[in-house]
Amino acid sequence: MKRILIARSAGFCFGVKRAISIANETAGKAEGGTAETAALPIHSLGPLIHNPQTVEELEKKGVRVVESVDDIPCGKVIVRSHGITRRDGEALAAKGVKIIDATCPFVKKAQEHARSLSREGYAVIVVGDANHPEVKSIISYIGGGVPILTSLSDLRDASGIRKAGIVAQTTQSFENLMEFVSVALKIIPEVRVYNTICHATVLRQKESVAVAREADVMVVLGGYNSANTRRLAEICREFNPRTRHIETAAELSPEVLTGVSCVGVTAGASTPEWIIEELVGRIRSIWKEEKIQVAYYQ
């Protein structure tokens, strides 16, 4: 019997569910409000989450994505799950725009740790992708004049730093965080570490690895612009070379399933349940078998 084995934690994480709920509630209030409130535009500064299909659905409900504060003259702005920089937040407040904060609470915690470390005179090491909006938001909370290190090469080249604090992008792997910690401990006398990786991220990665080990082919579902989905694909590929990262079910080629009896499935934190369900349907249609077991990894 052919099997589809799905990681139980696949799909929306708590922070994403919360952001989507806030956005839907905001859009719903606009539809059901007065003529005056309904006329107020609703913006998202950058995509609310890194899933194009979900962002498209929100746009149909009136949540318009813009890339700059300059593109928001009035109305409401939903702060995405990744957070925004302090400068953008201050600029929006100065415009009198109504700010609806959907920043993930775990991201807020990383921002707070970065701010407190810099206030206490610690150099701040931020483990993550320096170009990612979440990391940019964390860095923006670090006080002026404080050294900021975002790569292992920066860390190894650092000199004269007597004490440093470490925070991480919430979707980083624990192994990557520990690599930074190991290097820092060798060259800096005092190192304070805050493990700001979201527990859901750790669980998702562990489950995905377990599924990848068991499956003949591993499919990772999620936006190509999603850092945590790309990271999942990288991790799964280490244990199963036949790992495919796709954004939608339609991208799964029948050739990938040739001679396969077990397909593993996981999905990034920004991937909605309906996309996972579409993939299961796509696999069923390719296999054309009467008996296919669909199970969640225990």
Residues acting as catalytic residues: 134
Q: How far apart are CA 221 and CA 218, in angstroms?
A: 10
Q: Buried b / exposed e across 103-128, counting CB within 10 Å, b at 16+?
A: bbebbbebbebbbbbbeeebbbbbbb
The distance from CA 280 to its chain's CA centroid, rounded to whole angstroms, is: 23
Instruction: Give the separation between CA 179 and CA 228, rounded to whole angstroms.
Output: 18
- In the beta sheet, which residues pair with residue 2? 292
Alpha-carbon dihedral sign for residues 23, 54, 139, 176? positive
DSSP state of 241: S
Q: Would you say 25 and 62 are in contact if contact means Cβ atoms under 8 Å apart?
A: no
**Bridge partners, residue 243, by sequence:** 218
| Pairing state between β 76-79 and 123-127 | unpaired
Q: Is 221 exposed, middle or buried (0-12, 13-18, 19+ CB in 10 A)?
A: buried
CA atoms within a 13 Å half-sphere pointing along the CA-CB vector of 134 = 31
* CA-closest candidate to residue 264, choices 53, 2, 52, 12: 2
DSSP-assigned letter for residue 277:
H
